[in-house]
Amino acid sequence: MFEKQDGVERFDIIQTFNACKQEEGKSVAAYVLQMKGYVDQLEHLSYVLPQDLTVGLILNGLTKDFARFVRNYNMHNMGKMISELHAMLTEYKKDGTPSLKHKPFRFLQPI
């Protein structure tokens, strides 16, 4: 009986994990930690996903702001752990995505 309940719970977690996408405006750190939470729940149920699948699902759920990062990651087949991916994505967000304060502006010339 408990096995059936674990199976249903595992199915629900996997379904939620697979459907989870980073929301626009939500920090990448919060998104990765949310995904890590699903992985931890599955491990608690004695179900371990392969690391490359886990990372692939996390990368697949990122917003388009991370398209360049994902392409580079996949080209180099980096094989990182979730914690390493978390650090890399956080660093990329700081350095790789221009913020408004760095947006160039031009001076208007008087007529």
Give the other-Cβ count within 10 Å of 80's Cβ.
14
Q: What pLDDT sits at residue 95?
A: 82
The reported pLDDT for the residue numbered 108 is 52
pLDDT at 14: 95
Q: Classify residue 47 by burial, with Cβ atoms within 10 Å: 0-12, 13-18, 19+.
A: middle
Low-confidence stretches of the chain (pLDDT < 70) are 1-4, 96-111
pTM of the predicted model, to two decimals? 0.78
Sequence-separated (6 or more) residues with CB below 8 Å from residue 69: 62, 88, 89, 92, 96
pLDDT 10s digits, 26-37: 999 999 999 999
Phi first, then psi: what are they for 16, rounded to 5°?
-65, -45
Domain boundaries, the chain: 2-95
